[in-house]
C-alpha cells in the first residue's frame, strides 16, 4: 500500500514507533517532506507545535493486541522502530526499561512478520559495543557487541541486536537496516549527556580522553528517511567524522575541568546512590572513560551518506544554538533562533 509522488515514485506506507519522541518527530518530518505516508504509534497525541504523522495511533509497543490492530488497519510496508527508554526517570525501574526496550522490540518484530512488513529500520546505539578499556581506537560494524550488563541501556541495545541477528538468519524476507548512532545533538536537545557540558566544571577522569562522537539531529533523520525510501540494507554506524574529547569540550565552552581519579568517582557515585542523591552508580564510570569511537566509513561508502557535520562541527552548532537562546532570553525576546 504505497502512495505516488509527482513523477510516479512509490513511497512506502511507513509506521514509526515512538513517533512523539525527539528522534521520532525529526524522522517523521523528514519522511513527510519526501511524501512518505506516515503512521505514528506512541503513548499519546503528538505535540501541537511539531509536524506530526499523517495518522497517529495511541498504543504501547508492549501491547501485542494493540500492535496487531494497528498493523492490520494500516498494513505498513516499512516500520521505523524508535520506541525505547533512552533517559529513564527517577522512578523508572530496570524491569520497565527491559520491558520497553527488549520485549517491546520483540513484539514489534513479531507484528512485522505476522503482517508481511517488507523492511524494519531500527535505532540502535554505539552503546551496543559496550564501554570497555580494550575497545579499538575506531570501532567498526564488524566489532563484537559487548554491551555492558551493568549498564542497562547498553545491555538492552546488545540484546536487541542479538535478537535482530537471529531474525536475519531465520526470516530473511524481513529486510533490516540497523543504525548504531553516536551522541545526537541538535538545537533543542537536552538530556543526560548535554547536562555533562553545562555545569560550572566539566568532569574529567584522570588519564582518560573520554572521546565523544557527535551527530547532528538532521543528519540522523536524513539517514532514516533514506533507509525507508532507498534500497540499502545492513548495519551502519551513524556519527560525524572525528572525536571531541573532554578537554576539547572544556576549551570550546570556556569551562574548567574537575579532574578526579576513576576510583574516587566510583566511590562517590556508590555513596550518592545509596543516599538517594543520584540515580547514577559506579557503573557510569566506564560509560565516561571508555566511550566507543564509531567509524562512519561504511555509512559513507556503502550506505552513501556523508554527514553534514563532523563531531566537532555538531558540538559547535549545539553551542551556537544554546548561546543564541541565552541572548534572546537576556533581551526578553520570545522568538526561537532558527
CB 116 within 8 A of CB 124: no
| Mean of pLDDT values over 268-289 | 83
| Mean of pLDDT values over 110-117 | 98
| Mean of pLDDT values over 141-153 | 94
CB 183 within 8 A of CB 193: yes
For residue 6, the enclosing domain spans: 2-185+215-239+293-307
CB 120 within 8 A of CB 112: yes
Confidence of residue 3 (pLDDT cuts 50, 70, 90): low
Confidence of residue 145 (pLDDT cuts 50, 70, 90): very high
| Mean of pLDDT values over 96-123 | 97
Q: Is the pLDDT of residue 31 over 70?
A: yes
| The three cell numbers locating residue 134 | 580494550
Per-residue pLDDT at 337: 36
Confidence of residue 316 (pLDDT cuts 50, 70, 90): very high
The answer to the question of residue 116 being in a domain is: yes
* CATH number of the domain to which 75 belongs: 3.40.50.720
Beta partners for 214?
183
| Mean of pLDDT values over 147-157 | 93
The answer to the question of residue 259 being in a domain is: no
Per-residue pLDDT at 326: 62
The answer to the question of residue 229 being in a domain is: yes
Q: Is the pLDDT of residue 336 over 70?
A: no
The answer to the question of residue 329 being in a domain is: no
The answer to the question of residue 335 being in a domain is: no
Alpha-carbon torsion (94, 95, 96, 100), positive or negative: positive
Q: What rounded mean pLDDT belongs to the chain?
A: 90
Confidence of residue 292 (pLDDT cuts 50, 70, 90): very high
CA distance 282 to 270: 6
pLDDT over 70, % of the chain: 93
The answer to the question of residue 196 being in a domain is: no
Per-residue pLDDT at 328: 62
Note the pLDDT tens digit of each residue in 32-61.
999 999 999 999 888 777 778 999 999 999
Task: Give pTM, 2 decimals.
Answer: 0.91
The answer to the question of residue 26 being in a domain is: yes
Per-residue pLDDT at 48: 77
| Mean of pLDDT values over 109-118 | 98
| The three cell numbers locating residue 152 | 542497562
Task: Say how many C-beta atoms besides its own lie within 10 A of residue 247's C-beta.
Answer: 13
CA distance 157 to 152: 9
For residue 175, what are the contacts with CB-CB under 8 A and spacing of at least 6?
118, 119, 120, 233
Q: Is the pLDDT of residue 279 over 90?
A: no
As for how many domains the chain has, the answer is 1
DSSP-derived 3-state class of residue 220: helix
CA distance 22 to 35: 21
The answer to the question of residue 246 being in a domain is: no
Confidence of residue 24 (pLDDT cuts 50, 70, 90): very high
Amino acid at each position: 500500500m504505497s502512495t505516488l509522488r509527482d513523477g510516479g515514485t512509490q513511497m512506502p506506507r511507513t509506521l514509526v514507533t515512538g513517533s512523539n519522541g525527539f528522534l521520532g518527530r525529526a524522522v517523521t518530518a523528514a519522511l513527510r517532506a519526501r511524501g512518505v505516508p506516515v503512521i505514528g504509534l506512541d503513548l499519546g497525541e503528538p505535540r501541537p507545535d511539531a509536524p506530526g504523522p499523517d495518522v497517529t495511533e495511541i498504543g504501547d509497543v508492549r501491547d501485542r493486541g494493540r500492535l496487531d490492530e494497528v498493523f492490520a488497519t494500516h498494513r505498513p510496508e516499512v516500520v521505523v522502530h524508535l520506541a525505547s527508554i533512552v533517559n529513564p526517570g527517577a522512578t523508572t525501574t530496570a524491569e520497565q526499561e527491559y520491558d520497553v526496550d527488549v520485549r517491546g522490540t520483540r513484539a514489534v518484530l513479531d507484528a512485522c512478520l505476522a503482517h508481511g512488513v517488507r523492511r524494519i529500520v531500527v535505532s540502535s546505539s554505539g552503546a551496543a559495543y559496550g564501554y570497555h578499556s580494550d575497545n579499538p581506537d575506531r570501532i567498526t560494524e564488524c566489532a563484537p557487541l559487548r554491551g555492558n550488563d551493568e549498564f542497562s541501556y547498553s545491555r538492552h541495545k546488545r540484546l536487541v541486536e542479538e535478537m535482530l541477528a537471529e531474525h536475519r538468519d531465520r526470516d530473511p524476507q524481513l529486510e533490516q537496516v540497523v543504525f548504531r548512532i553516536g551522541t545526537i545533538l541538535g538545537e533543542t536537545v537536552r538530556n543526560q549527556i548535554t547536562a555533562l557540558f553545562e555545569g560550572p566544571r566539566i568532569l574529567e577522569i584522570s588519564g582518560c580522553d573520554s572521546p565523544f562522537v557527535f551527530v547532528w539531529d538532521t543528519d540522523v533523520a536524513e539517514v532514516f528517511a533514506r533507509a525507508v525510501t532507498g534500497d540499502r540494507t545492513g548495519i551502519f554506524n551513524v556519527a560525524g567524522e572525528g572525536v571531541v574529547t573532554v578537554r576539547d569540550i572544556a576549551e570550546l565552552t570556556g569551562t574548567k575541568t574537575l579532574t578526579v581519579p576513576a576510583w574516587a568517582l566510583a566511590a562517590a557515585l556508590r555513596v550518592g546512590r545509596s543516599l538517594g542523591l543520584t540515580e547514577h552508580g559506579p557503573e557510569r564510570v566506564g560509560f565516561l572513560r571508555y566511550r566507543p569511537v564509531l567509524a562512519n566509513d561504511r555509512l559513507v561508502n556503502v550506505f552513501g551518506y556523508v554527514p553534514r557535520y563532523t563531531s566537532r562541527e555538531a558540538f559547535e552548532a549545539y553551542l551556537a544554538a544554546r548561546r543564541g537562546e541565552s541572548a534572546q532570553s537576556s533581551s526578553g525576546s520570545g522568538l526561537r533562533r532558527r
